[in-house]
Structure 1
Amino acid sequence: MKFTSILRLTAGIAFAGMFAVSAHAADTLVIHVGYAAIGVDNRPFSEGTSAATARAGEFLEKEFADDPNVKIEWTFFKGAGPAVNEGFANDQLDFAYQGDLPSLIGRATGLKTRYLLASGARKPLYLAVSKDSGIKKIEDLKGKKVAYQRGTNGHLAAIKILEAHGLKEKDIQVINLDSAATIAALTSKDIDAAFGDTQLINLAAQGSADVIYTTKGDDPRFGRNAGIIARQAFIDAHPEVTQKVVDAFVKAAQWSSDEKNRAALFELWHKSGTPIAIIEEYFSKDTLAYRNSPLIDDLLVSQYEEQAVKSKEFGLVRREVDLKGWFEPKYFNNAVERLGLTKFWQSYGANGKPIGS
């Protein structure tokens, strides 16, 4: 299976091309880590998640700094979650940051992966419309050209939002575009509207579009979820290495959740090319701990269960998605116990409310 639109990092240099398995000496373990997004102008960074922090802050590299036989290779995918699934299918990825819908599609098609911890869960979704479109509310999208990237967690969230406002996917003209193409199409008014996040906030700030809706402040179950997914074969072969990888991601989540690091965090995420002012807006009125929580709590699990049902209902998967045994909290629980973080993050119930409040 071939890849398209892939950026590979080798020795800190990014280049476009086909994904290939790294050649390495028998005594060197190369850990391949994927990220289902890419920065502005194909920069090998992202923003808005603790996984993005782990990359930009080199948390994994520091975790293995005392082991010269372990190397970390990051791959950022313009093709987002579907491209990550290709990487897992070809045993070319060991870990990845991936959204809910593509990971569920991978599960439904038989990919042997496990969900290790949350990252980028509770991410809001935005709806922007082209200037002078006349679209004032979600109901006005009927019959309009609306862009989002199929197969991503934004795709499923968009359908749920449409459904909540009396529309179905067939009621709109879906245009399948990645982030960069969406911006160009919305600016040129080749499309009427688009679902997305920071890139749409930025476009609106430039006066080239209008944001008319966001899931922020709405039902938290309309938001998007994502996490760190791992290949089962790698976990089985390298349980101690897996633990250290999870440790690194938990440390990145802790640092990303500390309010005293807010300015430094946004500066770190700015490596993606997203302006700091846009990131500030993206996180406005949200605590860092809420947005960057790595917990596999009742809200997260219930959301994945609901997404699994909705994926089948909307025809996004052909078979039932069996989540039994998919969540693997063991490594995360070990990490938070050892790091003294068992009470650091607030757990939420399936109803979206804090547990114990």
Structure 2
Amino acid sequence: MSPSALKPSTRLRRRLLLGLASVALASPLALQAQTASQLIRIGAPDFGVAGKPSPGGGLLAIVHHNKWLEEEFAKDGVKIEWNFFRGAGPAVAEALAAKQLDLVSLGDLASVLHKSRGLPTRFLLPAGRDSNSYLATAPGVEIKSWADLKGKKVAVLKGTAYQRPFDNLLASAGLGEKDLKLINMDWPGSKAAVVAGQVDATFGGADLFILKDKGVSIPLSTKGRGPGFTISSGLLATEDFVQNQPQLTQRVVRQLVRAAHWASQESNREALIKLYSDNSGSPQAVFRNDLEGENLNARYSPLVDEDFIANYQGVLDDGLKLGLVRKGFEVRNWFEPRFVQQALKELKLEQQWKARDAQGKVK
């Protein structure tokens, strides 16, 4: 019997069966489109020592150490690729511009600087708030105030988040970069240089405490100086990754919020310090000194609130004023808070953190 001789009801049933078969064939293709990225490439500055690449201390370090992303995506065959850069923020941004990364963790100035230069990123969530910086001085060098840096040879890795508080500290003492012999040097190089007395001082993170047993002193820090002197960081994604892989983006953010919840518990303080130490190779004293007196729930809040947005607006404003950033942009439009909001609902953590206003007060 020819197809044209089939009764209308028979033809209809055949069309329905063919349609269902088409859907069955198309469904794996649709699923493949959602998980087309079989590799999620993550980049971060390398804060590890002794041959242990690490993002240092922050939410990404927790996820990295516990392999939560690997566990999350194992069933889908999606691999996680970690890339750690000794060149810090500038090197991460360079790889991002070359489309070699999907997600990056960057300090505030580096992320603002490269956004202003047109890098197509979306800011997903804070990875750490209001961390402090420290000045390490070479053996025999006496520095008691920021004003004492005048004429001194000081190493600072330019283009990283540390440059902004350093320049602000100089300004508070009536100085500028031209009043110093400023040397642009990466972290491993600057540590070796200050120990050897090749520079008078270097400015950086809490990892400088590992140099104290080599005769290096830590006379000054940004602790207690308030906004403009601390550093925040965040997880950013390329616009392509967010647009093409929203489900993968959501799952990554959920694991970061999970890490934020764990880190925010005061009962986990010692476990957190140990994790950072084990993951980075730095002594526990490095992180214990940095977290001393800190409110963990505030420091690790993943909320994209008015306080955090105002912080980054301040970074942009200071960058423009100090000549570190040449072009402004709409800071608020950069953020994608929907992923954090969804993660908070999924993990039932809506009440864990309190949003703060632009003045830092709890709403």
Give the TM-score category using the shorter length.
0.7 to 0.9
51, 54, 58: which one aligns with 2:60: 51
**What's 2:85 paired with?**
77
Residues in 1 aligned to 2:214 and 2:303: alpha-carbon distance in whole angstroms: 37
What is the total number of aligned residue pairs between the two structures? 328
152, 156, 167: which one aligns with 1:159: 167
Q: 4+ runs of 1 displaced by more than 6 Å? A: none
CA contact (8 A) 2:104 2:236 kept: yes
Change (3 A) 1:169 1:346: farther
CA contact (8 A) 2:132 2:206 kept: no
CA contact (8 A) 2:135 2:202 kept: yes
Q: Does 1:150 align with 2:161?
A: no
Residues in 2 aligned to 1:212 and 1:178: alpha-carbon distance in whole angstroms: 21
Query: 1:324: how far off?
Result: 4.4
Residues 334-353 of structure 1: pairs in structure 2 closer than 5 A: 334-352=342-360
**What's 1:241 paired with?**
248
**What's 1:66 paired with?**
75
214, 235, 238: which one aligns with 1:231: 238
Residues in 2 aligned to 1:98 and 1:159: alpha-carbon distance in whole angstroms: 19
141, 147, 153: which one aligns with 1:133: 141
Query: 1:179: how far off?
Result: 1.5
- Structure with higher Rg: it is 2
If each structure's helix is expressed as a fraction of its own residues, which one has the higher value? Answer: 2
**What's 1:41 paired with?**
50
Query: 1:84: how far off?
Result: 1.2
84, 94, 97: which one aligns with 2:102: 94
User: Structure 2: which 5+ residue stretches go unaligned?
Assistant: 1-34
Residues in 2 aligned to 1:169 and 1:300: alpha-carbon distance in whole angstroms: 28
User: Structure 1: which 5+ residue stretches go unaligned?
Assistant: 1-25
The one-letter amino acid paired with 1:67 is: D
Change (3 A) 1:65 1:105: same
Helix, strand or coil for the counterpart of 1:41? coil
Deviates more, 1:243-252 or 1:253-262: 253-262
The one-letter amino acid paired with 1:190 is: Q
CA contact (8 A) 2:105 2:234 kept: yes
**What's 1:261 paired with?**
268
187, 194, 197: which one aligns with 2:202: 194
Residues in 2 aligned to 1:112 and 1:191: alpha-carbon distance in whole angstroms: 37
Helix, strand or coil for the counterpart of 2:293? coil
Change (3 A) 1:27 1:115: closer
Helix, strand or coil for the counterpart of 2:358? coil
113, 120, 127: which one aligns with 1:119: 127
CA contact (8 A) 2:108 2:315 kept: yes
CA contact (8 A) 1:47 1:53 kept: no
Helix, strand or coil for the counterpart of 2:314? helix
Percent of aligned positions that are identical:
38
Q: CA offsets per residue over residues 195-253 of structure 1, 9 Å max, x none?
A: 1122222212x152111221222224310111000000011001111100111111111
Residues in 2 aligned to 1:199 and 1:38: alpha-carbon distance in whole angstroms: 8
Residues in 2 aligned to 1:140 and 1:314: alpha-carbon distance in whole angstroms: 21
Residues in 1 aligned to 2:173 and 2:348: alpha-carbon distance in whole angstroms: 44
